[in-house]
Chains A and B, each alone.
Chain A
Amino acid sequence: MSDTSHGTGGLTFDKTKRSWPNEMNILLALIIIIVIFEILGQILPYMRDQSFLFDSKDRFDSIFNEARLKIIILQVAIIGIIALGVTQVIITAGIDLSSGPLVAATAMIAMSFGQTELVNGFPNPKALFGTWAMDLPVIVPIVAGLAFGAFIGAINGTFIAFLRIPPFIATLGMFLICRGIALWWSGGNPISFPTASYKFIGSGMMPVVWFLSLAVIFHLIMRYTVYGKHTYAIGSNEEAARMSGINVKRHKVMVYTIASMLAAFAGIVLASKSETAQAGMGEFYELFAIAMAVIGGISLQGGRGSIIGTVLGAMVLGVIRSGFTYIKLDGSYQLMAMGSIIIAAIVLDQYRQRNKA
């Protein structure tokens, strides 16, 4: 609870400390979840004393089970990139449901400019365009994908900010439109066989590299730039932001554009990682991205939360997913448990807010 020295209390201007950050609670939750899985691994009769995250095979080169750690973070990296954008949208008290299908549409568009002409000496069987679109430098699929994302995001933002369409509705419409675009782009056919350079950007641990570097960049942006400050201000009190002279409409368009560009980049990386693009890709990605943000303490009421929180939220989701597989829990239970955790995170947020008010 807040301190009691309100009102005309002492002049204590030197006290410029910040309070206990919310991110620490999520980190704590993450550690608790890991400990629970460790304990389960020890006590469940069918687990035979395995360890969840630590190396149990008495190898000398490491303490951790690196393979599992890598899988945990790799599993959440691509959706995590989307979550970085969704976080910013939610901080403005908005929502973006269009990111999953946008991933698919962007994957199709990017891959169609990232194909290689010859596969094992034969012409590419999945070629969408003629030879003019083959073996292009990797910058072409990236720019094409990002430009498409920016376009979609700008439309989202324009409808939300200038035409005052509720974000839920505007992005729900865009959800369907993008899925349609993904199907239409190649008539429903998969687009495959990327060039070596396009294959590289999603290969191995590259998605993790992108996720973490983008997380660092957007953490700095949200905390240390005017863009970040205004994003928080709008979510916190849009009226106040407007009266303070912030161009709220333009700023919202910018936020939605950046969010969609991040989702588009996730699509570019996903297509590269999968070495193919299909119209059905990215199903439920928008919901998992929102879940990461919510678990990470981003308030759906806007104004509160941070990129660090979302990264931790992504880790929580990854650990839970991996942990359930580790204790050999069926996929159906995993979904139920994850749903419960999301609801619990929101309940906790509401509770915290009521306590502070």
Chain B
Amino acid sequence: MSDDLVLKTEELTKHYGGVHALVGANFEMKKGEHVAIMGDNGAGKSTFVRQITGVEQRTSGKVWLYGDEVNFAGPLDAREAGIETVFQTLALADDLDVPDNLFLGREKTFANWLGPFRLLDYKGMRNDTIAGLERTGVKIPNIRNSIRNMSGGQRQCVAIARTATFASKLTIMDEPTAALGVQETAQVENIIHTLKEAGEPLILVSHNMRQVMELVDRIVVFRRGRMVANLRKEDTDGQDVVAYITGAKTGAEFEGAA
């Protein structure tokens, strides 16, 4: 495979018992590209994301990241390989503050010989958090506040700042604005623009057609567990995408798939 591919999947498949949630997904994305994944509820979007991020183990198929074949045993593996994910269900611990959440599961520590009782480097994590927030333009009044006391938009920004703080090879956002108000959505979209300018590749799972058309380069449509379309933004419009989502149309190269 060529070197400018960030991610490639081949015949990626996931069955939950008898349910074929994802069947034979062949997906590719290039460096610096922002790709949207669209589809109805239960079309396999989140399932696809969970296989790439190691949250679940795929039934079959192969995944390459920057040309290397990868088999993630868990989400931490994927993260160590450089895939940062903002999950649909906010993966934040409500009772912890912002630095704690940013560094959850990869705390900066010292005295590491103490094993599970190794000491937390609170100061280092706070400084990195502030730097990360500044880089993404996320504004939070007090980073020592527990997440519980923050608005939905701020929480989402924390989740996104987490991905941006750790210079990642691939960012995945699973419906990042689904639960947000207009102003908060705009804030998140701004961050996505920032990532685009910085050349950071992004997979955006979204139901929001306006958002997708505005933010991404390419749209991939899933329907009933299968990829049914792969459209460049210039070659399509909202109506066209909807036709693929609902099943009125199926992409030429995917004929016979769905």
Known: A6-B141, A241-B105, A245-B79. A356 touches B93 (CB 8 A): no
**Residue among A5, A10, A226, A232 facing the most chain B CB atoms (10 A cut-off):** A226
CB distance from B86 to the nearest CB of A (A): 11
> Among A19, A224, A243, A356, which residue has its beta carbon within 8 angstroms of that of B75?
A243
Tell whether, in the assembled complex, residue A19 and residue B117 are in contact, meaning their CB atoms are under 8 Å apart.
no
B150 surroundings in chain A (CB, below 8 A) = 6
B201 to chain A, nearest CB (A): 21
* Complex-state Cα separation, A224 to B116, whole angstroms: 11
A-contact bits for B74-114, CB 8 A (1 contact / 0 none): 11100100000101011111111000100011110100001
Chain A residues with Cβ below 8 Å from B85 are 243
Nearest B residue to A353 by beta-carbon distance? B148
Among residues 280 to 308 in chain A, which have CB atoms less than 8 Å away from a CB atom of chain B?
303-304
Determine if A244 is an interface residue (Cβ-Cβ < 8 Å). Answer: yes
Residues of A within 8 A of B149 (CB): 2, 356
Q: Does A182 contact B (CB under 8 A)?
A: no
Task: Please indicate the chain A residues that have their CB under 8 angstroms from the CB of B79 in the complex.
Answer: 245
What CA separation (Å) do A2 and B146 show in the bound complex?
10
Assembly CA distance A357 to B90 (angstroms)? 16
- The answer to the question of A12 belonging to the interface, with a C-beta cut-off of 8 Å to chain B, is yes
CB distance from A128 to the nearest CB of B (A): 36
Main secondary structure on A side of the interface with B: loop
User: Inter-chain contact count A-B, CB under 8 Å?
Assistant: 122
Report whether B187 and A8 are in contact in the complex, using a CB–CB cutoff of 8 Å. yes
In the bound complex, CA of A11 to CA of B154 (Å): 13
Report if A8-B183 is in contact (Cβ < 8 Å); known contacts: A237-B94, A243-B91, A245-B75.
yes
Q: Select which of B55, B92, B139, B151 is within 8 A of A237 by beta carbon.
A: B92
- Which chain A positions have C-beta within 8 A of B75? 242-245
Give Cα A224–Cα B145 distance, bound, in whole angstroms. 18
**Among the listed B119, B126, B142, which residue makes an inter-chain contact with A12, where contact means beta carbons less than 8 Å apart?**
B142
Q: Are A7 and B154 in contact (CB under 8 A)?
A: yes
Choice from A2, A244, A304 contacting B95 with Cβ under 8 Å: A304
With A221-B117, A240-B91 known to touch, is A18 a contact of B107 (CB < 8 Å)?
Answer: no
Q: Which residues of B contact A13 (CB under 8 A)?
A: 130, 133-134, 143
Contact B151 A225, beta carbon cutoff 8 Å: no
Query: In whole angstroms, what is the CA distance A275 to B144 when docked?
Result: 49
**Nearest-Cβ distance from residue B3 to partner chain A, whole angstroms:** 28
Q: Does B232 contact A (CB under 8 A)?
A: no
Q: Closest approach, in angstroms, between the C-beta of B84 and any C-beta of chain A?
A: 11
CB of A240, distance to nearest CB on chain B (Å): 4
Complex interface residues of chain A between 194 and 240 (CB less than 8 A to chain B): 221, 224-227, 229-230, 232-233, 235-237, 239-240
Q: Does B179 contact A (CB under 8 A)?
A: no
How near does chain B come to A172, taking the closest CB pair, in angstroms? 27
Roughly how many angstroms separate A283 CA and B130 CA in the complex, as a whole number? 51
A19 in contact with B145 (CB, 8 Å): yes
Asked if A187 CB lies within 8 Å of chain B CBs, one says no
Residues 45-57 of chain B, each 1 if its beta carbon lies under 8 Å from chain A, else 0 = 0000000000100
> In whole angstroms, how far apart are the Cα atoms of A233 and B183 in the complex?
29
Alpha-carbon gap, A3 to B145, bound state (A): 10
> Quick check: B95 and A236 within 8 Å, CB to CB?
yes
Given contacts A17-B144, A229-B100, A304-B95, are A8 and B107 in contact (CB under 8 A)? Answer: no
| Chain B residue with Cβ nearest A299 | B95
Q: B33 near A: Cβ within 8 Å?
A: no
8 further A-B pairs in the complex, CB-CB below 8 A; given A224-B119, A224-B122 = A7-B154, A9-B139, A13-B143, A17-B142, A226-B116, A232-B100, A237-B92, A240-B92
Where the two chains meet, the residues of A that have a C-beta atom closer than 8 Å to any C-beta of B are 2-3, 5-13, 15-19, 221, 224-227, 229-230, 232-233, 235-237, 239-246, 251, 254, 303-304, 356-357
Can you list 9 pairs linking A and B with CB atoms under 8 Å apart? A6-B150, A6-B154, A7-B153, A10-B141, A13-B133, A225-B117, A226-B120, A233-B96, A244-B76
- B: residues with CB less than 8 A from A are 55, 74-76, 79, 85, 87, 89-96, 100, 104-107, 109, 114, 116-120, 122, 126, 130, 133-134, 139, 141-145, 148-151, 153-154, 183-184, 187
